[in-house]
A = this chain, B = another copy of it.
Amino acid sequence: MRDTRPYHHGDLRRTLLAAAAEAITESGPAALSLRDLARRAGVSHAAPAHHFGDKAGLLTALAAEGFGLLADELDRTRAAGGGVLDAGVGYVRFAVAHRAHFSVMFQPDLLNRTDPELLAAQDRASGALRSAVATVEAPQRRGADARIAGLSAWSIVHGFATLWVSGALPADLGGDPEEAARQVIRPLFAPG
């Protein structure tokens, strides 16, 4: 909080994660450079490695943060009394609002898959996901057990989110991802 940069940054870890999210949002995970992050944060080129050990370590931390944010989002819609449809829209809202996190969370080749923090965050998110699906009214699941129903919901929501953030969807869908998501997802939950 001083006007001159102290030797100890004080909050470098969080600063680097924020800078990484910004850089990835701008130009994707492939173009990310630890040295560029260091420059943005005003520290030496090797400082990031001290906090994350590795480039994969930084991306792993970002992914873990992402799973936490996703769990937060799902818990929020659940607390607001929303159903599966709302949870699905929340999933898409998360992906669009935190594109950088989302684009890293499901690319295992960029991450340390066994990192304990990552695993814990994944567990929390998948728990929140399961809770959201558990709110489906029973008649909508007839003919398929709950596990399959959950995977169907996850698939359609994840697919739409992925296609949206990758820009693969047709432009005539409009600019509002949540509204578009609601329309596209609805057929699965309200057949007929």
Contact = CB atoms under 8 A, between A and B. Distances in A.
Interface string A1-42: 000000000000000000000000001111100000000000
A94 to B, nearest CB: 15
A87 to B, nearest CB: 15
Copies in the complex: 2
Given A143-B192, A162-B162, A155 B184 contact: yes
A168 B183 CA distance: 25
Interface string A142-184: 1110001101101111111111001111000100000000011
A186 interface: yes
Given A187-B144, A192-B142, A154 B149 contact: no
Contact of A151 (B108, B143, B155, B184): B184
A127 to B, nearest CB: 13
8 contacts: A28-B108, A106-B168, A144-B186, A148-B183, A149-B187, A152-B188, A155-B157, A188-B188
